[in-house]
A and B are shown apart, each in its own frame.
Chain A
Amino acid sequence: MSLMTLAASGNTPSIPAPQIEYGQLSPMLIVFGTAVVGILLEAFLPRRLRHPAQVGVALLGLAGAFAAVLVLAIQGYGGTRSGLLAMGSVALDGPALFLQGVIILASVLAVLSYAERGLDPRIDGVPQDPFTAQAAATPGGEQEQLATRAGFATTEVYPLTLFAVGGMLLFPAANDLLTMFVALEVFSLPLYLLCALARRRRLLSQEAAVKYFLLGSFSSAFFLFGSALLYGYSGSFRLPEIADAISGTAPITPALANTTQNDALLLIGLAMLAVGLLFKVAAVPFHAWTPDVYQGAPTPVTGFMAAATKVAAFGALLRVFYVAFPGVRWDWRPVMWGVAILTMVAGAVLAVTQQDVKRLLAYSSIAHAGFLLTGVIATNRQGIAAVLFYLLAYALVTLGAFAAVTLVRDSRGEATHLSSWAGLGRRSPLLAAVFALFLLSFAGIPLTAGFTGKFAVFQAAAAGGAIPLVIVGVLSSAVAAFFYIRVIVLMFFSDPQPNGPAVVIPSTATATVISVAVAATLVLGLAPQYFLDLASKASMFVR
């Protein structure tokens, strides 16, 4: 009573309470809340109940978040309405909402493939999931064996993943650089951990995690330093205010009078920010971590990273370049041209010599980052819409492809070396056909999702005056087609090895993932109109 009257009468100097729009922030809040619930479950539930409970809670949380996204979309935030939330640090607009939807979809599929326990043979009657029994045990040591035999399972992966998802949802929606940085860290840290948790080949997995962590920290530091320089330039972390400072319409803060409008700060800051973001999208020359991490991480995690991280990072990249830096596009476009060309060419050419399916898909993801960058460079609304659509198509197909990789196994776990995939089309034509469909989609063959996406970004880039980029893109697609075809040849036209791997019949979890991906590949290839409209409506950033 007394407090309220005091505040109302205004006698005490009050700290203004931040205004938080819980309803509009609900997708993120639901995911974070579910993650916290997951931690509590981990602490209090008996071991044998944890797996089903965690999977169920994670899926429920994601479904709730997706429902929230749908509600917001129905309210018009997917196109006509937009708003700034949480005192202007989070944007709610078409691209943010669209990408949040894509990230949640991708996460649902990822959680389903985490939950697969039918692939590894049971040990003492305990089903084994793709994650190590006890992350802290020395690989190959006695304790590991004990943990395995005792039926331990690292069910922390579910809350960890949900935290990562929450960060990813925030990343493309962040409207100021600090929020963006926090989001970056929130989704990166769980990913570093997840990479280290493979059940098989644990040393490789831990090595991948360390590499990813070291390089990722570097790139985060770049991002943070770039933000600081931009603050010096503009006096603000807010993206629209940075844009105002660039166009010279912002008031100058007295404390920063010496540094404001210093172009060196602007350009160096922008470059460092770009390094941080390009690292996350795996663009050349910041791609070196990708093949090692993709290969070492547990395959379901690789699928999750490849799909969701790329979506989130491209969302942030688009927002930064389209909201904060349209005024200096003549400065960043040439550099991004170079990066896009390098990324497309290097991704495609380096993939040609790969001998491991996961590394091959890693290089392919690099090449796709290059194709996506051509859409970013278009600097028009079509470019945004094209990138949004491409990300949707790419994310779903990628998850399907990695889920398919988990099914090809021999006695040592997944058989990812390409030579062991020889003749797979004879042994299990269904899986080989499905994987071939994913590869054809990656290669951009018409009537698949990949083609529609590629056409959309190239078309936008050409409309934005980047014809040479389109030509490089088309030629590197031809190179890329070579290695996708190579895998198809291997599967269908080579003879099976005598002791080659077998395809394990998955449980419904993985089967669902693959079916959804197949359906998406076909629908987005044959009848993409609805989704193109959706992306096109969503292609306006709020300022």
Chain B
Amino acid sequence: MLYIRCPYCEEYRPEIEFRHAGEAHIVRPTNMAEISADEMEEFLFIRENKRGIIFERWRHIHGCGRFFNCVRDAVTDQIIMTYKSGEPKPSDAEIEKAILALKEEQA
């Protein structure tokens, strides 16, 4: 079970209260009517699905009901940090710092 910190409730809650909601930071094209079918396909269906650090959206559906973003390691499943929707994507340095903090906590 994952133990996820909801940035709105400001505390850790068990995974069962949350719902996964796909990849985060996907920008909706502003010129929907003009883009090609291929670009539309990319926007709707093509996801990074990479090995390593990923950004995803979660929803605290059985809690405050809010969507938020999360940085997770797809290899170890460890959640590195969570932050409110609308906040900028954390930089590599910030993620590095959060990983170090987690390691210290576990040591």
Bound pair: A and B?
Answer: no
